[in-house]
Each structure stands twice: as structure tokens, then as C-alpha cells.
Amino acid sequence: MNWLTNYVRPKIRALYARKEVPDNLWHKCPSCEAMLFHRDLEENLNVCQHCGFHMRLDPIKRLASMFDEGDYQSVELPKSVVDPLKFRDQKRYTDRLKEAQTKTGRHDAIVVGSGLIGGQPAVVAAFDFGFMGGSMGIAVGEGILAAARTAIAQKAALIVVPASGGARMQEGILSLMQMPRTTIAVEMVKEAGLPYIVVLTDPTTGGVTASFAMIGDIHIAEKGAQIGFAGARVIESTIRETLPEGFQRSEYLQEHGMVDMVVHRRDLRPTLSRVLTLLMQPVLAVAPEALPATAVQAEEPRSQAEAADETPAQAGAERTGSEQPA
């Protein structure tokens, strides 16, 4: 009976056993609650096909979607001090870091890459909201500074894609010190004559908004992204007034002049390509011989001999004619 027990019965069970379906095959849209197949969602860059809701995107996938042909070089970031304050709340800060590093597979909440966008050199620094809410600590400040130095060395544009809840409270004042550090890093890029572009994603809040995220040459926002300093509930409880509909959203900020343009995620790379092509073009010096002859003659001053031969009546007539309104 061993052959029935050891061979036949397992074969029958294998034929009729229920196959477990993985839990990550389907995702529910947080906005319209539609069920989305994971492959369709990945092909659409984590944007709902039904309502256009922009979900958060992994920074590695974001870099691949922004650079030409998805080809870029990772920029190695410097090591930073770990747990300088020996902070502990319900857990030790070092334990929280290890959990976030195991979950995301990266050292901290920022990834930097360099490559071409629309044929123009660019350095992109993208945040990972999955790493402790994309909070800005010493490592993130070092990452922004490294991205700025790389952009200057390569004479490339600097593009930052924040997705952050603000400063990292476990690092205290050292986290707040990253606000002026990142601002200085951006100023270094601008002094080098290179463009600095910010792509605002959901969410961009707190100290990130109060520093490098709002001093770009051009601000591009994804559709429906939450952008602000304090939360809407905190503002309402402070001013004791109901906020307008769509407050702190990309479209609202564009209407009030804080955002230059709001784009769909699939249109981000073409938009950046056009912007970088315009900003990175060298200024062409036009030689006088390239101008029309009439324009050159109009700009040439009259000689003293021509002015002396002119009669007072002619000069007065020309002055009178030039003073008459068109």
C-alpha cells in the first residue's frame, strides 16, 4: 500500500488542491475604489486608468520613467551619521532605520541619478515616501548636496522630486539644519548658471516645502498632489475658518501662481524635455552682418558732416514728425 499512499494520493491532491492567489495581484484605487490589475497599474506608472488618481511611485521606477530610454547612472551618496542624538520614543531610532532599510532596500529616503532627458544632461534626486514618510534628515541633506555638486561638475540641470512629510523629528535640530543646507546647495547650482526644476508630488509638506522645494526656477506638479507647509486640519483649527475646496492641491496652487504647470505623470518626461531644451540652449550672439540692411542702417549714428549739411528747417521738421503720436 505504500505506492498508493506515497505516490497516487499526492498526485490526486496536487490535481485538486486549491492554488493560493497572491495578495498583490490587484490594487484598489484610493480615489474611485476601482480594482486595478498590477500589470496594468505598473504600465500606467501607478496612475488609475479610471479616474487618473496619481498613486505614489517608487523612486527607482520614477528615475527610469524620467530619463531617456530609462538609462541613467546612480550617484553614490556619502555616508552620514546614524542616530546622532541617541533618540528613542516607542522604539529606538536605529531600529526604525533598520526596519525602513529592510522594507525599501535602500540606505535612506533619497535616490540620485544622472543621465539625459530630451538629450540634455540632468541630475535627478527623487524621494521615497516609503522610507519613514520621506522625512528629511542628515542623509537626505547630504543627498541633495551631492546631487547639486554632481550637476555642477557635469554642467547639468538639477531636478528634485520631493515626496515628504517634512523634517525627521528623530534627528531634532540637526534635521532642521538641512533646510538652509539644501537651500545653499540650490544656490550653488543657480550661481553656476544651471537650471533648477522641482517636480512636486504627493505629498510635499513641512520643512521640505519651506526650503528647497519652493525655490525652483520652474515648478511642475503632478495632478492632485498635496503641497503645503502645515496640514489643512491644523490651518482650519488655527484660523477657525473653512478652507476653500481643493486647498493645497496642485490645481489650486497653479491658479494662485505658486505652481507653473500641472502635468500627468505620463507627460512628465516630454514636458521636462521641452523645458530643458529651452533652458539649456546657449545664447547665440547675432553678428551685425546677419541683421537686415535696414536695421543696420537705422542703428548706425549719423556722421557730423551729415548733421552739419542738414538745414535747421529739415531738422525741425524731422523732430516735429518724430514727436507726433503714431
Say if residue 274's pLDDT is above 90: yes
pLDDT at residue number 77? 95
Say if residue 124's pLDDT is above 50: yes
Taking residues 259-280, what's their average pLDDT? 96
Residue extents of the structural domains in the chain: 21-55, 58-280
pLDDT at residue number 284? 41
Question: How much of the chain, in percent, has pLDDT values that exceed 90?
Answer: 77
Instruction: Give the CA diameter of the chain.
Output: 131
pLDDT at residue number 20? 57
Q: Vertex 161, ends 50 and 144: CA angle to 5°?
A: 165
pLDDT at residue number 2? 65
pLDDT at residue number 24? 73
The grid coordinates of residue 191 equal 550661481
Cis preceding linkage at 22, omega within 30: no
The grid coordinates of residue 224 equal 492632485
pLDDT digits (tens, 9 = 90+) for 200-238: 999 999 999 999 999 999 999 999 999 999 989 999 999
CATH code of the region 58-280 = 3.90.226.10
Question: Rounded distance, CA 116 to CA 72, Å?
Answer: 7
Amino acid at position 249, single letter:
R
Say if residue 22's pLDDT is above 60: no
Phi and psi, residue 84, nearest 5°:
-70, -25
State the DSSP H helix or E strand holding residue 162, giving kind and residue range, or none if neither.
none
| Reported confidence tier of residue 134, pLDDT bands at 50, 70, 90 | very high
Question: Rounded distance, CA 125 to CA 108, Å?
Answer: 12
| Reported confidence tier of residue 6, pLDDT bands at 50, 70, 90 | low
Say if residue 253's pLDDT is above 80: yes
Instruction: Assess contact for 146 and 123: CB atoms under 8 A.
Output: no
Give a three-class secondary structure readout of 36-102: EEHHHHHHCCCECCCCCCECCCCHHHHHHHHCHHHCEEECCCCCCCCCCCCCECCCEHHHHHHHHHH
Query: Which of 77, 152, 162, 101 is closest to 128 using CA atoms?
Result: 162
pLDDT at residue number 300? 45
Instruction: Assess contact for 214 and 186: CB atoms under 8 A.
Output: no
- Greater confidence, 61 or 319? 61
Half-sphere exposure of 256 (CA within 13 A, CB side): 11
pTM of the model as a whole? 0.80
Question: Rounded distance, CA 84 to CA 215, Å?
Answer: 29
Amino acid at position 34, single letter:
A
pLDDT digits (tens, 9 = 90+) for 152-208: 999 999 999 999 999 999 999 999 999 999 999 999 999 999 999 999 999 999 999
* Residues of the binding site for Zn(2+): 29, 32, 48, 51
Taking residues 115-137, what's their average pLDDT? 97
Question: How much of the chain, in percent, has pLDDT values that exceed 70?
Answer: 79
Say if residue 261's pLDDT is above 90: yes
Say if residue 36's pLDDT is above 80: yes
* Residues of the binding site: 29, 32, 48, 51
The residues facing 74 across adjacent strands are: 113
3-state DSSP call for residue 161? Answer: strand
- Greater confidence, 10 or 111? 111
